[in-house]
């Protein structure tokens, strides 16, 4: 490992938290069968940070969606902490996501009718957690938005909106955080600050991070890089 790399929690040496086996995804179009992903195999440990990299259209975001159970595979399975998520029905998968996963997207996906505080409180309230306001207030403070609790997304900068999205994702203390190009719509300086915050929160909370990115510097900071080419795993590199 690079001696100059930032400190972070090392992944567990025990059983894999996430296991992907023979995962494939194909769809029908006017020309026949389009194979998006084929025979993907992965294992990731608790607290591991992994970057999914590759050219546009290679299947990176589809793979992330399948790991999250947001899409269904044509073949194969995904196990989260020993549970085959596709053995569950749609409602049970949604409950599993709510209990164990957090999500950060390129376009933030905040609810415009809710304040920053209300956006972060929402997943706590949906999960029936007590002290949702206090927990959300604390998390917004941790991402540097203690003075912006009652502002709506439309008056927040892109960087501030992504900080709200991070607070919303981390406030439930998920086992797994899935991020799809979390800095893709931000300028370089803002994106760098957001990634530093992602890594810091990930270390503090011991989350397993799986992130789609085109940024080589961001990918290099992760424990593992999974390169996807033409819908297949071309290489897996570990620090």
Average pLDDT on 18-38 reads 93
Predicted local distance difference test score (pLDDT) of residue 232: 96
Structure tokens given for 173: 């203390």
Predicted local distance difference test score (pLDDT) of residue 14: 56
Alpha helices, DSSP H, located in 90-211: 90-100, 116-126, 132-142, 158-170, 188-205
The answer on pLDDT for 10 being more than 80 is no
Cβ pair 118, 192 in contact under 8 A: no
Q: How many Å apart are CA 63 and CA 236, to the nearest integer?
A: 14
Q: Which residues contact 157 (CB under 8 A, 6 or more apart)?
A: 190
Which backbone phi and psi does 155 adopt, to 5 degrees? -105, 5
CATH class of 18-238: alpha beta
Q: What digits encode the pLDDT tens for the residues 70-101?
A: 999 999 999 999 999 999 999 999 999 988 99
Predicted local distance difference test score (pLDDT) of residue 85: 96
Average pLDDT on 63-71 reads 95
Report the predicted TM-score, pTM, of the whole model to 2 decimal places: 0.86
Residue among 63, 80, 152, 82 at smallest CA distance from 116 = 152
Q: How many Å apart are CA 24 and CA 187, to the nearest integer?
A: 34
The answer on pLDDT for 2 being more than 90 is no
Q: What digits encode the pLDDT tens for the residues 112-161?
A: 999 999 999 999 998 888 899 999 999 999 999 999 999 999 999 999 99
Predicted local distance difference test score (pLDDT) of residue 23: 97
Q: What digits encode the pLDDT tens for the residues 192-233?
A: 899 999 998 888 899 999 999 999 999 999 999 999 999 999
Q: Where are the domains of the chain?
A: 18-238
């Amino acid at each position: 490992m690079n001696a100059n790399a930032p400190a972070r929690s090392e992944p567990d040496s025990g059983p894999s938290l996430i296991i992907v086996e023979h995962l494939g995804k194909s769809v029908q179009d006017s020309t026949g069968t389009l194979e998006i992903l084929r025979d993907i195999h992965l294992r990731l440990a608790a607290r591991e940070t992994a970057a999914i990299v590759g050219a546009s259209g290679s299947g990176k975001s589809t793979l992330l969606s399948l790991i999250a159970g947001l899409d269904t595979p044509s073949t194969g399975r995904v196990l989260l902490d020993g549970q085959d998520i596709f053995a569950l029905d749609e409602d049970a998968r949604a409950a599993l996501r709510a209990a164990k996963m957090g999500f950060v997207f390129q376009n933030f996906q905040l609810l415009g009718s809710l304040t920053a505080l209300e956006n972060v409180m929402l997943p706590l309230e949906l999960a029936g957690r007590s002290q949702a306001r206090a927990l959300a207030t604390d998390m917004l403070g941790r991402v540097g938005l203690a003075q912006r609790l009652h502002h709506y997304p439309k008056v927040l900068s892109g960087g501030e909106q992504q900080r709200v999205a991070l607070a919303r994702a981390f406030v439930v203390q998920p086992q797994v955080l899935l991020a799809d190009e979390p800095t893709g719509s931000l300028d370089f300086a803002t994106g760098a600050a957001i990634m530093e915050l992602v890594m810091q929160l990930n270390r503090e909370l011991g989350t397993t991070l799986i992130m789609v990115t085109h940024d080589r510097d961001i990918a290099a900071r992760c424990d593992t890089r999974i390169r996807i080419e033409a819908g297949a795993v071309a290489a897996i590199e570990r620090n």
